Amino acid sequence: MELRNIKGVGERMAQRIEREFGSEDAFLDAALNCEVDRLARIEGISQRRAVEIINEVLGNPSQKFLKTERAIQLYEDIIKKILDHASTDYARNRVLLLSPTKDPGTIQERMSRVMDAKRMVAELPQDEIQKLLIRVNPLEKPRPRVEPGHALLVESKKDYENLLERDLHRYISIITLEELESLHEYELVVYAYNEGFLEIDDAPNLAMVPLDAQDGELVPGKVLAYYQHNQETLENAAKLRDILGWSSILPDVMNTLCSIQSRRVDEASFNRTVDEAKENADQKMKNAIKGVELSGQEVLDLLNSGMPGKIRDILDTVLDEARQEIYSKTGCSFNPFLAKYPLEFDEEELARVREQEMGRQQLKAFEHQVMAAKELSQLHGKVEKEVREVLEFDYQYTLGSFAYKYGLQEPVLADGFSFEDAINLDLALSRKVQRISYQLQYPDNVVLLTGANSGGKTTLLETLAQISILTQMGLPVPVIMARVKLVDELYFFSKKRALDAGAFESFLWNFVPIATQNTDKLVLLDELEAMTELEAAAKIISSFMGFIQDSGSYAVIVTHLAREILKHIQVRVDGIEASGLDDEYNLIVDRTPRMDYLARSTPELILRRVYEKSDGKVKDVYRKMLELF
């Protein structure tokens, strides 16, 4: 798909997208990798729009299912609740692209995976899993970096150009013999020989590798940088796979990376060892001399020849022990000291040995890196596969954690809607909320819902909408048992207390086409009240309900005009009724609707609550109002 063929992507937006991603192809690759967050960072592209664009690239079902702003808000609220359980950007992006569908096969497949994930979550150490997952990211290719102090030596200009074409100059300085003044200029020189005619003095910091060798043999850092850059992700992915009982090559990769680290050239350690040997030797000399007694002749010898034999023997012993100490820690057998007290360094000898030793270490480290690069380059595909599996696990784990936390259950796909012990997701984590049961089934596919103010009518509509949306997303629902019909469209209209002339006309333009469209619909209408007069409102609402009823779609309409509407159409009326006030004057309500029951509203109870909480002259006014009831 071409970027400019995506619906709503004009030329300016396309140019901004190409600047962010580098090219159209790079954007399409990012879309296939679900990088919603990166697209949403572009000026003028909201997260919702980014999701729509990438959904279109991926060919995902569009949001045609959600037909009103309130329906979209409920869907987005579900997405936010799921995102609370995601640990990686990969999982968050996949969740953002999780859209409703009407395909039963897709729904059942998703549902089965989520229920498996829910059971898995219950058995895993959740805190430990999350701590590891937040440190796992998609593997990144690091920017090339030239290794300081290293050089790649070639025989000719042609060989130089050959290595440029292989992009090796981005990882190491490439020089010709004419440019090389001395091997001592570099910590390590890799001679990439073709004919091998260059006469180079034997040097401890020189490695010889054929020009036609693999890149990793000439510049192992080109391979190793990828693994070192992603080391934290690899380490945490390895731990996570171990907890899950998955086989993995990542521990072997980590061992290889650790071995590279342990073989790093450490000049500071060499210098520190020599300095410590000198300090120890000086202290030994100081302690030993305290117990030396000199005769008169030995004092004369000290004045004439500079050092008596007793002192010379002690010094020789101390120097020998210092050499042994240096050798045991560095592997270098040499004497860097002048025979004086306190000891002094032979700077020329020390510099010679240091350079030789550092060159030897550099060569050993290079040889080990070459072996590591060969090993790791063969594992590249397997490493990427294992990290992808961990990221995919986080997506499934996210959905499973959401289902586990909210106690969601798998619904049955059926005709109509019915559920037992359902709860609104916004209330699901509270222990003191009443669960509700309800059904909306043919021939009672359109019903009126009446009853108490603050009794839960709006919450019931939202719960029904959530159950419908979750099911068509392929997710379990907040019920003990549910049967759910798949529909083409979901409409949810929020409360509008009154319709003036302009709003009334808007109502006609919006609602009548809904009733006449040849699609399966679930319409949830929350308290559409006065239009011009009660009788007119009742006639229009009843006509609307008749169209929905005849179309075979489903609707729940919350209203206080039930008596007026029933004069014009026969539909089921359900009621939620308050039975009184508790000790704190809160409404006592059974929030599960009674079927075929026209419930009273609650003005008397609300008036009594206000009366009980007031005092003075105002209370007398409320009392007189109550007397009228």
Instruction: Give the pLDDT score at 555.
Output: 95
Query: In 3D, which of 540, 551, 441, 535 has the Cα closest to residue 489?
Result: 551
- Environment class of 290 (CB within 10 Å of its CB; exposed 0-12, middle 13-18, buried 19+): exposed
Mean per-residue pLDDT, 45-72: 85
Entry pTM? 0.80
* Distance between CA atoms of residues 316 and 326, nearest Å: 15
Q: Which residues of 122-154 are buried (b: 16+ CB within 10 A; e: fewer)?
A: eeeeeeebbebbeebbebeeeeeeebeebbbbb
Look at 76 and 362; give whichever has higher pLDDT.
Answer: 76
Instruction: Give the pLDDT score at 287.
Output: 75
Token pair, residue 596, equals: 């075929």
What does the DSSP 8-state code read for residue 593? P
Q: Reply yes or no on whether the pLDDT at 489 is more than 60.
A: yes
* Distance between CA atoms of residues 573 and 597, nearest Å: 6
Instruction: Give the pLDDT score at 618.
Output: 80
Kindly report whether the peptide bond that precedes residue 342 is cis, defined as omega within 30 degrees of 0. yes
Instruction: Give the pLDDT score at 180.
Output: 78
Q: Reply yes or no on whether the pLDDT at 580 is more than 70.
A: no
Q: What are the residues facing 490 on neighbouring strands?
A: 66, 522
What does the DSSP 8-state code read for residue 193? E
Instruction: Give the pLDDT score at 509.
Output: 75
CA quadruple 94, 100, 106, 111: dihedral, nearest 10: 80
- Answer yes or no: are the C-beta atoms of 402 and 473 closer than 8 Å: no
* Distance between CA atoms of residues 251 and 235, nearest Å: 8
Q: With pLDDT > 70 as the criterion, what percentage of the chain qualifies?
A: 85
Query: In 3D, which of 310, 309, 275 has the Cα closest to residue 290?
Result: 310
Look at 601 and 613; give whichever has higher pLDDT.
Answer: 613
Residue 50's H or E segment, with its range, is: helix 47-58
Q: Reply yes or no on whether the pLDDT at 299 is more than 70.
A: no
Q: Please provide the average confidence, as pLDDT, over all residues in the chain.
A: 85
**Going by C-beta distance under 8 Å and a sequence separation of 6 or more, which residues neighbour residue 25?**
none
Instruction: Give the pLDDT score at 9.
Output: 85
Instruction: Give the pLDDT score at 374.
Output: 94
Q: Reply yes or no on whether the pLDDT at 126 is more than 80.
A: yes
Token pair, residue 240, equals: 């996570």
Mean per-residue pLDDT, 186-214: 83
Where do the domains of the chain lie, and which CATH numbers do they carry?
A: 1-60 (1.10.150.20), 270-345 (no CATH), 412-628 (3.40.50.300)
Q: What are the residues facing 418 on neighbouring strands?
A: 439, 483
Q: Which residues of 12-30 are buried (b: 16+ CB within 10 A; e: fewer)?
A: ebbeebeebbeeeeebbeb
Residue 620's H or E segment, with its range, is: helix 616-628
Instruction: Give the pLDDT score at 64.
Output: 82
Look at 387 and 362; give whichever has higher pLDDT.
Answer: 387
* Distance between CA atoms of residues 371 and 259, nearest Å: 11
* Distance between CA atoms of residues 446 and 571, nearest Å: 7
For the beta carbon of residue 417, count every other beta carbon within 10 angstroms. Answer: 23
For the beta carbon of residue 382, count every other beta carbon within 10 angstroms. Answer: 13
Tens of pLDDT, residue by residue over 426-446, are 999 987 888 999 999 989 999
- Residue 363 sits at φ, ψ, to 5 deg, of -65, -45
Query: In 3D, which of 567, 564, 548 has the Cα closest to residue 556?
Result: 548
Instruction: Give the pLDDT score at 47.
Output: 83
Instruction: Give the pLDDT score at 334.
Output: 66
- Answer yes or no: are the C-beta atoms of 181 and 153 closer than 8 Å: no
DSSP three-state, residue 326: helix
Instruction: Give the pLDDT score at 572.
Output: 94
> Cα 38 to the chain's mean position, in Å?
13
Tens of pLDDT, residue by residue over 93-125, are 899 989 899 999 999 999 999 999 999 999 999
Q: What are the residues facing 175 on neighbouring strands?
A: 153
* Distance between CA atoms of residues 450 and 8, nearest Å: 42
For the beta carbon of residue 474, count every other beta carbon within 10 angstroms. Answer: 22
Token pair, residue 225, equals: 């940088």
Tens of pLDDT, residue by residue over 498-546, are 555 566 677 677 777 787 778 899 999 987 655 556 777 788 888 888 8
Instruction: Give the pLDDT score at 488.
Output: 94
Instruction: Give the pLDDT score at 519.
Output: 87
Please report, for residues 251, 254, 373, the alpha-carbon distance to residue 248 in angstroms, rounded to integers and kept in the order given.
7, 11, 19
User: What is the amino acid identity at position 406?
Assistant: Y
Kindly report whether the peptide bond that precedes residue 142 is cis, defined as omega within 30 degrees of 0. no
Of 169-173, 201-205, 480-484, 575-579, the one with minimum mean pLDDT is 201-205
**Going by C-beta distance under 8 Å and a sequence separation of 6 or more, which residues neighbour residue 231?**
254, 257
Encode 125-168 in three state secondary structure. CHHHHHHHHCCCCCCCCCCCCCCCCEEEEECCHHHHHHHHHCCH
Tens of pLDDT, residue by residue over 74-87, are 999 999 999 999 99
Q: What are the residues facing 191 on neighbouring strands?
A: 153, 208
DSSP three-state, residue 381: helix
Q: Reply yes or no on whether the pLDDT at 344 is more than 80.
A: no
Instruction: Give the pLDDT score at 320.
Output: 80
Which of the four pLDDT bands, split at 50, 70 and 90, describes residue 283? confident
Of 72-76, 314-318, 393-397, the one with minimum mean pLDDT is 314-318
Q: Reply yes or no on whether the pLDDT at 268 is more than 90.
A: no
Instruction: Give the pLDDT score at 297.
Output: 57
Instruction: Give the pLDDT score at 323.
Output: 77
Instruction: Give the pLDDT score at 298.
Output: 54
Beta 417-422 vs 578-581: how paired, if at all? Answer: unpaired
DSSP three-state, residue 52: helix
Token pair, residue 44, equals: 């003028």
Instruction: Give the pLDDT score at 290.
Output: 66
Instruction: Give the pLDDT score at 587.
Output: 67
Residue indicated by tokens 């009843």:
542
DSSP 509-545: HHHHHHHHSSS-EEEEEE-EEESS-HHHHHHHHHHHH
* Distance between CA atoms of residues 207 and 366, nearest Å: 8
Mean per-residue pLDDT, 254-268: 79
